[in-house]
Structure 1
Amino acid sequence: MKKLRYFCETVLVSSAAWLLPKLPRSVILGLARGLGSLAYFLDARGRSTALDNLNAAFPGTYTLAQRKRIARQSYQNFARTFLDLFWSASLTKETWQQHISLRMDDSEAEARARETGAIWVTPHFGNFEFVSLVWGFRGIHFTVVAQDFANPALTTIFRRLREHSGHTVIPQENAIIKLVKALKKKGHAGLLTDLNIAPGKSATVIRCFGLMTCVPTLHVELALRLGLSLITGVCRPLPDGRSEITIFEALLPQPGDDVTALTQRVWDHFEKAIREHPECWLWMYKHWRYLPTRDIYPEYPTYAKPSRKFTALIESMKAGGSRHRAG
């Protein structure tokens, strides 16, 4: 049964990889709107999570009808990101600028990164697949960590799509060792940093829309350890089918800098972008899984649960003044 399912999955995804790059942008955009709307209506659990998240992040700001609209658009944006990953196989170094514009708030960020290497970070906002591919077309090749599929054939297809502009995709197993090796050779890493993870050594607690959440610190730890810049940016899909990449800041951490403060600073750039364009973020994801204590917190989403490890991490940060400092 599993072999049959894998076969069907492979045929479907292979067909999409062959067909989608041949379609005009207008068709891709129409498919994204239709598939995103369909997913919104069919995915009752994800839809409920999205509405719950929006209510927690913007208390009293949006009506239920407005939250439903934003949640539906979030599904449509995610569908567009997924379809664009396939469609982008038609792009080249000569043609990508027809579809993507680039704005650098820090005009020297790219030049410094080319000399030393850098860690490029973005959230699950807008077209986060495009933002990676563009730098490959510009001659900056990332080492990207991606989770393997249970179906090995799908892993191969998606790796080929993500490596289209010159990147190297590596599995999660021994990923940190491989990232460090690449970065020491003046390489570049591309990381998504808005995941909610279990409390532990590689996590810290930050304020996300005023609520406490547990996030990874890998990007900050690597920058501190190797003396590299952290470059923050997002890729916003535009209504006309194009996308706009904005690079906010090239942050160069210094020895002794506070890890939590740096993680918060990176996030604050992303939160500002999300507040301006809430439909671009992945609201159906559980961003606030843990409550600070066993008390009642009506401002948190209903799925958030108490966690002794999360509470202990918060208490240790209060006692020590922060998550920790780099030596």
Structure 2
Amino acid sequence: MNTYPIYLVARFTLFVLNILPITLSLWLGRLMGNILYLLSVKQRRTAYSQLKAAYSYKRSPKDLRGILRRSYQNLGMMLAEIAKFPKLDESYVDKYIKIYGLDNPKEAIRKDRGVIFLTAHFGNWELSAQVAAIKGYPMKVLARQQKHSRLDNLLNCYRNSGKCKVIKRGFGIKGILRSLKYGDILGMLADQTVAKGDVVVDFLGRKIYIPTGPVAIGRKTKSAVLPSFIMRDKGPYHRLYIGKPLEYYEDKDSKLLSPQEVLQAFYDKLSNYIDNNPEQWLWIQRRKKSILCRSVLILSDGKAGHLNQAKAVAGLLEETLREKGLAIRAPYAQEDGYKIVEVKYKNNLGPLMLNLSSIFSTSTSCQGCLWCLRRVLEESCYDELVSSFADYIISCGSSVSGLNLILSRENNAKSIIIMKPPIRKGAFDLAIIPRHDNPKQTKNTLITNGAPSVF
């Protein structure tokens, strides 16, 4: 792919944002965020599903959609502030940034120990490093190389325009260790996505793999690891929190804490910040491969035979996931297992209306809407379904086929239908149909000789 035209547009955009007043730059940033929200359909689907997994139990689909749009606006404003990095000075910081815990790194520095500022993709994390550097903590920032080299070099040019120096991943662990042993300051992002990490922590209701790099490096070099988060108040105004060093020991006389315990303390702090300001979290970063569990929702039409077939398929799915090291568990659930919801319509026209709605619905129109569900489902059933998140949705019977499709689009989930549906089976991810229904063999069709059964 030729990225040179994109590079030229990005360079011109940053130049314009740099010369404009900060309030106008941020307004343009929000506008660019809104445009990106409309154009990035695939990323938006992923981001919404991750938001729903974290907050469906306490926020409505409409609320989640609003949070997601504001998170895109935050990204646009973040770009506008990055464009200002060459002009960033102490007067700007004093005017717009309120800092808490500025003295926390000083004790480690006095002891000639290295310092690691540990942060996450929250707020304007790029700005936090520049602010700390201007306030007396010039640091080396560990950054992952971007996919497109021209854009990566352009971003690093702005990062290096202040008192920060970018160290690309792959620089070498020996160089990092040597730097910290000499008392340098290092900035790191803890929430990198990994398919197989060293430890597991609880984060936003689910268990995830994370690397132990920051803690392992901190211990080896006897460096202080300080959680650091920046939060946007309004417009250019921010609050930067520099926490006290993460404790390696439970108390003075106790044994050494494990890396998992130390990092869990960091992720607990991060979760609190995200809970209070979810629009400032980077939801578009795909994190599914780090998650150790998958959620399964069974839609029951009230018929015991149909429910039995759905349970059988859920059992087979559970075995398949277990082979991959994954468990079936809903977000915030204490035990493994799938969820069953009996679907209750207000009247007999409900299934027909949802089947018709599913034909014209798309993932972008369904996510954050679900207007059709509110019209045809009983209130208690509607509330239970919209407050549930699923990676897989299983149903058996024609009366819940349309509902399966609509909810799978809302959750960005895989849809599994049993029996021949009254709507186009190509719309489902998997259709399990008995041979006596004479189904046409397609790539998403599994033809069986009999009905699935738990027996």
What's the counterpart of residue 38 of structure 2?
41
The equivalent position to 2:158 in structure 1, one of 133, 158, 161, is 161
Q: Write the deviation string for residues 69-115 of structure 1: whole angstroms up to 9, x where unpaired.
A: 001111111221122111222212343222211112xx641212432
Deviates more, 1:184-193 or 1:174-183: 174-183
The equivalent position to 2:141 in structure 1, one of 139, 144, 162, is 144
Is the aligned partner of 1:225 residue 2:215? no
The TM-score with structure 2 as length reference comes to: 0.61
What's the counterpart of residue 284 of structure 1?
284
Amino acid of the residue matched to residue 222 of structure 1?
A: I
Distance verdict in 2 for CA 1:60–1:108, change over 3 Å: same
Count of aligned pairs: 299
| Rounded Cα–Cα distance in structure 1 between residues aligned with 2:282 and 2:105 | 27
Distance verdict in 2 for CA 1:38–1:233, change over 3 Å: same
Amino acid of the residue matched to residue 268 of structure 1?
A: D
SS in 1 for 2:188: strand
Amino acid of the residue matched to residue 226 of structure 1?
A: T
SS in 1 for 2:220: helix
- How far residue 51 of structure 1 moved from its aligned partner, in angstroms, is 1.8
**Structure with greater Cα Rg:** 2
Distance verdict in 2 for CA 1:86–1:10, change over 3 Å: same
SS in 2 for 1:214: strand
- How far residue 43 of structure 1 moved from its aligned partner, in angstroms, is 1.4
Amino acid of the residue matched to residue 18 of structure 1?
A: F
Q: What pairs up with 1:46-195 in 2 under 5 angstroms?
A: 46-104=43-101, 108-115=103-110, 116-149=113-146, 151-195=148-192
Native 8 Å contact 1:114 1:140 kept in 2: no
| Rounded Cα–Cα distance in structure 2 between residues aligned with 1:209 and 1:308 | 25
Is the aligned partner of 1:28 residue 2:25? yes
What's the counterpart of residue 263 of structure 2?
263
RMSD of equivalent CA atoms: 2.5
What's the counterpart of residue 303 of structure 2?
none
What's the counterpart of residue 211 of structure 1?
206
Amino acid of the residue matched to residue 139 of structure 1?
A: G
What's the counterpart of residue 323 of structure 1?
none
- How far residue 138 of structure 1 moved from its aligned partner, in angstroms, is 1.7
Distance verdict in 2 for CA 1:6–1:48, change over 3 Å: closer
Distance verdict in 2 for CA 1:60–1:140, change over 3 Å: same
Native 8 Å contact 2:67 2:278 kept in 1: yes
Q: Write the deviation string for residues 291-313 of structure 1: whole angstroms up to 9, x where unpaired.
A: 546x75459xxxxx94756559x
SS in 2 for 1:70: helix
What's the counterpart of residue 234 of structure 2?
239
Q: Write the deviation string for residues 107-156 of structure 1: whole angstroms up to 9, x where unpaired.
A: 64121243222111111011111101011112212221223345544333
| Rounded Cα–Cα distance in structure 2 between residues aligned with 1:150 and 1:264 | 30
Q: What pairs up with 1:4-23 in 2 under 5 angstroms?
A: 5-23=2-20
Distance verdict in 2 for CA 1:297–1:177, change over 3 Å: farther
- How far residue 222 of structure 1 moved from its aligned partner, in angstroms, is 0.9
| Rounded Cα–Cα distance in structure 2 between residues aligned with 1:119 and 1:51 | 32
Native 8 Å contact 2:193 2:290 kept in 1: no
- How far residue 273 of structure 1 moved from its aligned partner, in angstroms, is 0.5
Amino acid of the residue matched to residue 199 of structure 2?
A: T
| Rounded Cα–Cα distance in structure 1 between residues aligned with 2:55 and 2:148 | 39
| Rounded Cα–Cα distance in structure 1 between residues aligned with 2:96 and 2:149 | 31
The TM-score with structure 1 as length reference comes to: 0.83
Q: Write the deviation string for residues 234-287 of structure 1: whole angstroms up to 9, x where unpaired.
A: 111122421111123322425832011111111111110100111110112223
Deviates more, 1:46-55 or 1:129-138: 46-55
SS in 2 for 1:250: coil
Native 8 Å contact 2:143 2:168 kept in 1: yes
SS in 2 for 1:16: helix
- How far residue 196 of structure 1 moved from its aligned partner, in angstroms, is 2.2
| Rounded Cα–Cα distance in structure 2 between residues aligned with 1:7 and 1:132 | 29
| Rounded Cα–Cα distance in structure 2 between residues aligned with 1:307 and 1:178 | 40
- Larger RCO: Structure 1 or Structure 2 (Cα < 8 Å, ≥ 6 residues apart)? 1
